A and B are shown apart, each in its own frame.
Chain A
Amino acid sequence: MKIKTSSGRVFDFVNFLFMIVFAVIVLLPFWYIIVLAVNEGIDTARGGVYFWPRAFTWDNFRAVFSDLSILNYFKNSVLRVAILTPLHLLVTAMAGWAISRKKLPGRKFFVSMFMVAFFVNPGLIPFYLTLVQYGLINNFLVYVLPWLFHCWGMMVYLVACRSIPESLVESAYLDGANDLLIFFKITIPLTTATLATLGLFNAVWAWGDWFTGTFYIRSHSRWTIATYLQMVLQRGASTQVRSAAEATAAAHSAAHRITITEVSLRAATLLVTIIPIACLYPFLQRHFIHGVLIGSIKE
């Protein structure tokens, strides 16, 4: 607009302020956890620590990384994502590519099969008893096998496949390439943006999924970090704190002052869990926005 009205300027300013406040509200809980994680736990318990650390320390992180059981939960989480996400992408993308080919025999049958499974929810109990039947309860494979395919992801991938020029595929056929080769040499390189989005969503989900560990895994040694955080939330973790504090103290000199409390240990654990995601998603932002648009229309 050429002529700036004063009311327009006032609106701009209020809007700017509102957005600042909004951003602060979104970030504040994360900032609070950061502050708690780098503040001495004993000091935090005295109160008054919220916007800035008062007694700075790395001890809480030392405790997280020297506690063998917490490390093991992290290891299980990383292992799960590292195994599940690539396989999930492969299974989902292969199915999406196959469905996108009109010449696929029984195409309509497969589509309706996936759709029925998408909309009919058998419910928790039949699913649980099926896992019991397969011997997947308390088995690490329960973190991977049931989650290898999802119809929503396939639909998103299907849309990406449709944007591949048919002439490219045709010429590959003429050169004698089979469907598998075309998938790996043409489809995958041309759909990396969609694959990155689906991979991000799957990895984020698997990283934060506590349910599988809590209800389908019995032995603590196979828990993921998300399951541990759920247990801490519901039962507290006093023994954990003691063992972590002792481990840190033992790692340092015997005279080392123990400053860790349940609150500070949990804050540090939360932060270590959040950081991988917080570092990852801004780089994939451009791609997932596109993915969301497809998903929300098709869903």
Chain B
Amino acid sequence: MAPVARIKMRKRKAMAGWPSPVVKRIIENRWLLLMILPAVIIQLAFAYVPMAGMSLAFRNISELTLPLGTKWVGFANFHFVTDPYFWETVRNTIVIAGVKLIFIFPAPIVLALLLNEIKNQYFKKFVQTVSYLPHFISWVIIVNILDRMLNINTGLVNEILSFFGKSPIHFRGEVGWFLPIVVLSQLWKEIGFSSIIYLAAITQINPELYEAAKVDGAGRLMQARHVTFPGIYPIISMLLILAIPNLINAGFDQIYLLSNPMNLHVSEILDTYILRTGLSYGNFAKAAAIGICNSIVALILVIIANKGSGKIGGSTIW
């Protein structure tokens, strides 16, 4: 073949390749790309730009040089690790989250098992509907209601106490009552809604297993113990593993709203400490530094949870 012809052919090939396959695919799917565009923009603007802003933790900062500060200062903003108050907030976070896990995790399982034993479907439906209500009411409303109920002055609980001849208790002021209030209010708010998944798992159990158990002479409690509970055991272990990331999450809304100057040394958690340091005292760099540590630990816990749930054969998070 003559060189000229070869060049011509190459040219033709190049022409055939235009538009290139990538561009072609983009043009072909322009509507799909257009549809995903708003979400991408929102993510870039409100997730990735702040992620870049995390570098703030390693910078020197003053009011005039916001948002990124002036110069790199290495780990100078991380001096809080020697501050005992910081470790107090870490301790409070873990204590609150841990106590919540211990007391609140098993409750919906029990509720689901008991709901499952109700024969009258209308009554069951009614109890379920009622039990979901608090989940949809935000913490700011619930804490307002609690504040009234627990008020030392004509609050419902203290009125009942005085009816039984007990002296009123200053629930919101006494440090010892903080944790019980946190656990009980969370339990009250979420027990119904959390039971949904267990109830759904119970309906998935093969009815033949119950028949077989009956033939073997098992009563209802025995059936619950030997058929229903083993039937939902996989979902229990799965949810327990997925609860691992919550070990550092004490529940910001609830804790912040329930905290007051009197209970601060048991109610100050990492999230509220970051908030106070950053937004109330304007110490942005230090708050961002604490935030980074918080985010890293949270990410590690998520990865552990994901590894764990993958190991027990369930679907992983990603």
Q: Which residues of A contact B (CB under 8 A)?
A: 1, 5, 7-8, 11-12, 15-16, 18-19, 22-23, 25-27, 29-30, 32-33, 36, 44-50, 90-92, 94-95, 97-99, 101, 103-105, 110, 113-115, 117, 119-130, 132-134, 145-146, 148-149, 154, 178-180, 183, 204-205, 207-211, 215, 226, 229-230, 232-234, 263, 266-267, 270, 273-274, 277-278, 281-282, 285, 289, 292-293, 296-299
Contacts and interface: CB of A to CB of B under 8 A. Distances in A.
A211 B134 CA distance: 19
Interface stretch (B81-89, B93-101, B292-300): B292-300
Given A23-B126, A47-B154, A285-B132, A126 B291 contact: yes
A130 B46 contact: yes
B143 A233 contact: yes
A285 B271 CA distance: 32
Contacts of B141: 208, 226, 229, 270, 273-274
Given A126-B56, A270-B144, A289 B196 contact: yes
B127 A23 contact: yes
Residue of B26, B137, B278 with most partner-chain A CB within 10 A: B137
Residue of B36, B143, B188, B239 with most partner-chain A CB within 10 A: B36
B291 to A, nearest CB: 3
B48 A117 contact: yes
Interface of B: 22, 25-26, 29, 31-36, 38-40, 42-43, 45-54, 56, 66-67, 111, 114-115, 117-119, 123, 126-127, 129-134, 136-149, 154, 156, 159-160, 188, 192-193, 196-197, 200, 214, 219-221, 239, 242, 253, 257, 260, 271, 274-275, 278-279, 284, 287-288, 291-292, 294-295, 298-299, 302, 314-315, 317-318
A104 B33 contact: yes
Contacts of B115: 19
Across the A-B interface, give the 7 residue pairs with the lowest CB-CB distance, nearest first: A208-B138, A123-B291, A126-B53, A95-B39, A122-B50, A117-B47, A179-B31
A297 B221 contact: no
Nearest to A206: B138
Contacts of B140: 208, 210, 226, 229-230, 233
A19 B112 CA distance: 11
B261 to A, nearest CB: 10
Contacts of A16: 118, 123
A270 B137 CA distance: 10
Contact of A130 (B22, B67, B188, B278): B67
> In terms of DSSP, what is the predominant structure of the interface of chain A?
helix
B295 A30 contact: no
A291 to B, nearest CB: 10
B136 A277 contact: yes
Contacts of A7: 219
Contact of A233 (B144, B156, B292, B317): B144
B315 A26 contact: no
B42 A33 contact: no
Given A134-B45, A179-B29, A124 B287 contact: yes
Given A120-B299, A124-B287, A134-B45, 12 more contacts: A11-B220, A26-B188, A26-B192, A122-B291, A130-B67, A132-B66, A146-B45, A149-B38, A208-B138, A210-B138, A285-B132, A299-B242
B284 A129 contact: yes
Residue of A104, A122, A132, A234 with most partner-chain B CB within 10 A: A122
B136 A204 contact: yes
B264 to A, nearest CB: 13
A281 B35 contact: no
B66 A101 contact: no
Given A95-B36, A123-B292, A274-B137, A282 B129 contact: yes
A205 B197 CA distance: 21
A129 B53 contact: yes
A207 to B, nearest CB: 7
A130 B35 contact: no
Nearest to B279: A215
24 contacts: A1-B214, A5-B219, A8-B220, A25-B188, A29-B142, A29-B146, A32-B148, A32-B156, A47-B154, A95-B38, A98-B33, A113-B43, A121-B299, A123-B291, A124-B271, A125-B291, A126-B51, A127-B50, A129-B67, A132-B66, A145-B46, A146-B46, A233-B144, A273-B141
B131 A26 contact: yes
Contacts of A207: 138
A123 B295 contact: yes
A129 B22 CA distance: 37
A36 B151 CA distance: 13
B40 A113 contact: yes
A119 B299 contact: yes
Contact of A33 (B22, B32, B52, B148): B148
Contacts of B66: 129, 132
A123 B252 CA distance: 13
B301 to A, nearest CB: 10
A116 B133 CA distance: 33
Residue of A26, A44, A99, A299 with most partner-chain B CB within 10 A: A26
B148 A101 contact: no
Contacts of B142: 29
